[in-house]
A = this chain, B = another copy of it.
Amino acid sequence: MPAWTSYLETSQDRFHTELLDFLRIPSVSSLPEHSGDVQQAAAWVAARLRSAGIETVEILPTAGHPVVYGEWLGAPGKPIVMIYGHFDVQPVDPIELWTHPPFAPHVKDGRVYARGASDDKGNMLVPILAVEALLQSTGALPVNIKFFFEGQEEIGSPQIEELVATHKEKFACDLVLSADGGQWSETQPETLVSLRGGCAVQVDVVAANRDMHSGLYGGVVHNPIHALTAILSSMRSADGVIQVAGFYDEVVPLTAEDRAAIARVPFEAAKLSDDLAVTADFGEAGYTPLERNWRRPTLEVNGIWGGFQGEGIKTVLPAQAHAKITCRLVANQDPDTIARLIAEHVAHNTPPGVRASVSRIPFVAYPYMMPADHPGNVAARAVLSEMYGCEPYIVGSGGSIPVCSTFLRHLGVYTTNFGFAISDENFHAPDEFYRLSSFVKGQHAYCKLLERLAL
Binding site for B on A (CB under 8 A): 196, 198, 200, 207-210, 212-223, 225-226, 228-230, 232-233, 236, 238, 240, 272, 276-284, 289, 292-293, 296, 298, 300-309, 312-318, 321-324, 326, 328, 351-355, 361-363, 397-400
Contacts and interface: CB of A to CB of B under 8 A. Distances in A.
A218 B353 contact: no
A432 to B, nearest CB: 16
Contacts of A322: 309
Nearest to A225: B301
Given A225-B304, A305-B309, 10 more contacts: A208-B278, A209-B277, A214-B328, A216-B293, A219-B283, A219-B328, A229-B229, A303-B314, A304-B307, A304-B309
A238 B351 contact: yes
A229 B215 CA distance: 23
B300 A223 contact: yes
A223 B240 CA distance: 9
B303 A308 contact: yes
Nearest first, the 9 closest Cβ-Cβ pairs linking A and B are: A215-B399, A303-B307, A219-B292, A303-B308, A222-B282, A229-B229, A218-B298, A209-B277, A233-B233
Given A218-B328, A226-B236, A328-B215, A302 B307 contact: yes
A398 B315 contact: no
A353 B220 contact: no
Copies in the complex: 2
A289 B264 CA distance: 62
Contact of A277 (B198, B208, B324, B400): B208
A196 B214 CA distance: 11
Nearest to A316: B302
29 contacts: A198-B215, A208-B276, A214-B298, A214-B302, A214-B328, A215-B397, A215-B400, A216-B397, A218-B298, A218-B300, A219-B296, A219-B398, A220-B283, A221-B281, A222-B278, A222-B282, A225-B232, A225-B301, A228-B229, A228-B304, A229-B232, A281-B353, A302-B317, A304-B307, A308-B324, A312-B361, A313-B362, A313-B363, A315-B363
A214 B327 CA distance: 9
B229 A233 contact: yes
Contacts of A223: 300-301
A238 B233 CA distance: 12
Contacts of A353: 278-282
Nearest to A351: B238
A318 B215 CA distance: 32
A301 B226 contact: yes
Contact of A398 (B200, B216, B281, B303): B216
Contacts of A296: 219
A16 to B, nearest CB: 31
A214 to B, nearest CB: 5
